[in-house]
Amino acid sequence: MEYTLNVKGSLMDLSVPQVMGIVNATPDSFFAGCRVQTEEETALRCRQIAEEGGTIVDVGACSTRPGSEPVAQADEMQRLRMALAVVRRTLPDAVLSVDTFRPDVARMAVEEFGADIINDVSGGSADMFRLVAKMGVPYVLTSQQPDLRSMLLTFAAAVQQLRDFGQKDIILDPGFGFGKTLGQNYEVLDALPRLAVLGLPILVGVSRKSMIYKLLDVTPEASLNGTTVLNTLALAKGASILRVHDVRQAVECVRLVEEMKTNKTVNR
């Protein structure tokens, strides 16, 4: 199924999967490779994402890793203001996603910096749904449910609520690493094509997560190979967006999988 997103009046084509590069404006994200603390580090990371083929920049300033304590809202806003200003100066035409579960932070990001997408890992709230619908920005709806049946039920209810508020563009994120055991993460990944029944694009974010490094008994820093394998599987199962730390490798996955699909079609 082919999808598009309305980004400030222009359609972003998802018929070829897009790669979203992560920028963590926080000192405690689980993977140090994408943490940025200064304007110089932020600009360097943004240029790296663009040069390696990423088309969406996803900026977060409040760690959501398991066991972490959310930073105060004022601190999240302060970190984001620094990072988002740098992103806009460095990549003025980039599609900018902001990773936050707080409506006031989302409002600030859109009103002050023209954020294009709100990426909410919390599963959403009526206040957030109402806000994104009013602002007219695409919204990533993340599931923290442990299995596909529960996920489908909660997604369907949340999507209906978003539609009732007038939200147009919705992206579904199965929430790998959120509310799931290691085995349940793989069960959901295997069943990913069944989410297509909701008729919405799917974002997959497995990059260097514990479902990889715990299974392989390695560290997040040693999880690139496992990440590439799972990104390839996710693309084959219908993912429209890959959210990643390692942009070049993900872009290569997209190119290879798309070539395979093209040859399969031509040779029928």
Catalytic member of 45, 102, 208, 209 = 209
Residue 81 bears catalytic tag: no
Q: How many helices (H) and strands (E) does the chain have?
A: 9, 10
Task: Tally Cβ neighbours within 10 Å of residue 166.
Answer: 12
Measured distance CA(48)–CA(46) in Å, rounded: 5
- H or E element in which residue 267 lies: none
What angle is formed at CA 138 by the lines to CA 255 and CA 32, rounded to 5 degrees?
60
CB 57 within 8 A of CB 46: yes
Q: Which secondary-structure segment (H or E) carries 134?
A: helix 126-135
Known catalytic membership, residue 8:
no
Sheet holding 203-204, edge to edge: 170-173, 139-142, 117-120, 95-99, 56-60, 18-24, 241-244, 203-204
Task: Tell me how many degrees the CA angle 217-220-223 measures, rounded to the nearest 5.
Answer: 70
* Annotated catalytic residue within 45, 102, 180, 243: 243
Any idea which residues carry the catalytic annotation? 209, 243
